[in-house]
Amino acid sequence: MMENAIFSINKNGFIRGIKYISSPNYDERPNNASIDLLVIHNISLPPNEFGGHDIEDFFQNKLDIKKHTYFQSIKDLKVSSHFLIKRSGEVIQFVSCKNRAWHAGKSSWGSRHNCNDFSIGIELEGSDNTTFDTEQYLQLNLLIKCLCKEYKINDIVGHSDISPNRKSDPGPFFNWNLILKL
């Protein structure tokens, strides 16, 4: 965690000074893809349980499927996000912002489909059933500020906004009034 720090992004699409864990679940963005959307998600593994390293393991395809019965249902998924903000406020990057992380799945925003092509995914450790911690909002706002300086972000949306019939996150307990406005 970078308390009271201002995030900055380097030319390779990584935030300076935060923890980086490489995920293999990404590919190149389409040529001329303009990054202009931030997608907010929530994740907890196992569902509604916090702490530990299961999310990090999941994004690296290293999840111990014997650890919890739920893990059997997601064992074949290949998923990642650009960033994870843990309950403590620790921020972890998994994929360069210049690359396409696999966070949105089947999705659309406006007239465009496949939001992974033009978005940055930010996961918050949480669920649809719990409030998020103050430190998560503080770090999320620092991250938003940094990303908006580097990219022409037009919208900040939830996963539920781009996949409304499929996803519900970041959920009813995410307080949109606590994040920076564009």
Residues tagged active-site: 123
Q: Could you give the 3-state DSSP secondary structure of residue 2?
A: coil
Token pair, residue 19, equals 């923890």
Token pair, residue 49, equals 């349980």
Residue type, 81: S
- Give the whole-angstrom CA distance, residue 163 versus residue 153: 19
Residue pair 134/95 in contact by the 8 Å Cβ criterion: no
- Helix residue ranges per DSSP H, 11-133: 54-59, 71-74
Between strands 155-158 and 37-43, the pairing is parallel
Nearest to 57 by CA among 120, 114, 66, 48: 66
Q: What region, left, alpha or beta, does residue 51 occupy, with left being phi > 0 and alpha being psi -120 to 50 degrees?
A: left
Residue with tokens 């499927």: 65
